[in-house]
Copies of this chain bind each other. A is one copy, B any other.
Amino acid sequence: MRDSAKVILLICDGLGDRPTSGGKTPLQAAATPNMDAVSESGISGLMDVIAPGIVPGSDTAHLALFGYDPYDFYPGRGVFEALGADMELQEGDVAFRANLATVDANMRIIDRRAGRKGSKELADVIDGLEIDGVRIYVKNTTEHRCAVVMKGDNLSNRVSDVDTHEAGGAVPECKPRVDGEAERRTAYVVNELVRRSYELLNRHPVNEDRRNKGELPANILLLRGAGSYRRIPSLTERFGLSAACIAGASLYKGVAKYIGMSVKEVEGATGRADTNLTSKAEAALDALRTNDLVFVHVKATDNMGHDGDFEGKREMIARIDRELVSVLKDVDAYIAITADHSTPVSIKRHSSDPVPIVIKGEGVRRDDVKRFDELSAASGGMCRIRGMDLMPILSDFIGCYMMYGT
């Protein structure tokens, strides 16, 4: 820990939007006196998190925001899921996201998300399996969601998903995405694992119990998002600062661990609309005592964008303002508020529309912007930056700057 200025980086997932109801975005429509106060005393701008016109995923976006070029550093989603689930990863391990799902006897997918109680027990049955010399670890995270880690020689993340992304189809085969021995071997192990999961789960007591209650059995494990773990230089190594993560959703904890942040477990932080923002604010303040940078993540704004829920998104933003920004804005630290991408309620998906960003703190060039929103920020003193610019900019404010030349 360095004895100097510190920074809180608040990322509201999918916050950016397009004008919808009454010509306003949810952020424009929301009551945000605290964010507006930050804007009034700070410097605003727009940010293309990856590049103009490129639609970011949440995973690649966060790498960019932390100064890691996603085109160089993206390991594949599974790595973040496994790290977020507190699983151990070593160089060469391949990790996946996985769903407990329901198939019929003909291996047709009835329900991609067979969640509810007992998922942990089912995952445990598969955990520890060995196929062709590859040791397989399975961990249930929330509801139907699991993370899978494969440990063995000669594995690759260049294999296709075992997931149709919609119900009704047959369980697809995992295939190599490039022709290579590691890819063929990995695809074989994945297919064998899927097949064995059905054998192990279909008649499992948890599922017999579900059937007795008229519920669908969670009788197969579907894998997707293969990622290949490698150790990369940490935030501390690259920027000379210590950092902590306050997040509910496991993906963001996974990204944080991947780049060497410490991850704080926060009671009531769920990654959903029911998340406890007061607990997160307290945890952030606590983490700030021993870290140079505290990354606070709120997921629910993105969920509401995906649901097309304008009112829900507007209210969630107002709640972030009321319960989180109100507390964080007056701390003796820099505060930066932004998003990882836009998720417009009108199109219910991520979009490339740039996100607003504001930075407040000692010495920033205060501009005339008085509102924190997508349009107001465009006339701010920061003009338009990229996600990859953010960490170097924040680092300089807190004295961990990167100088080139003399």
**Partner-B contacts on A (CB < 8 A):** 18-20, 23, 25, 46, 50-61, 70-71, 74, 77, 225, 344, 346-347, 350-353, 363-367, 374-375, 378-386, 389-396, 401-406
Contacts and interface: CB of A to CB of B under 8 A. Distances in A.
Contacts of A74: 404-405
Given A351-B401, A378-B381, A389-B52, A365 B57 contact: no
28 contacts: A18-B365, A19-B363, A19-B366, A25-B365, A46-B383, A50-B404, A51-B389, A51-B392, A52-B392, A53-B396, A54-B392, A54-B404, A55-B402, A55-B404, A57-B404, A58-B405, A58-B406, A74-B405, A353-B396, A365-B374, A365-B375, A365-B378, A367-B378, A374-B381, A375-B381, A378-B382, A378-B383, A382-B384
A353 B365 contact: yes
Contact of A392 (B53, B375, B391): B53
A70 B404 contact: yes
Contacts of A77: 405-406
Contacts of A19: 363, 365-366
A383 B383 contact: yes
A389 B70 contact: no
Nearest to A390: B53
Most buried by B among A225, A347, A352: A352
A54 B367 CA distance: 22
A156 B57 CA distance: 43
A396 B18 contact: no
Contact of A56 (B58, B352, B366, B405): B405
A364 to B, nearest CB: 7
Contact of A393 (B52, B58, B61): B52
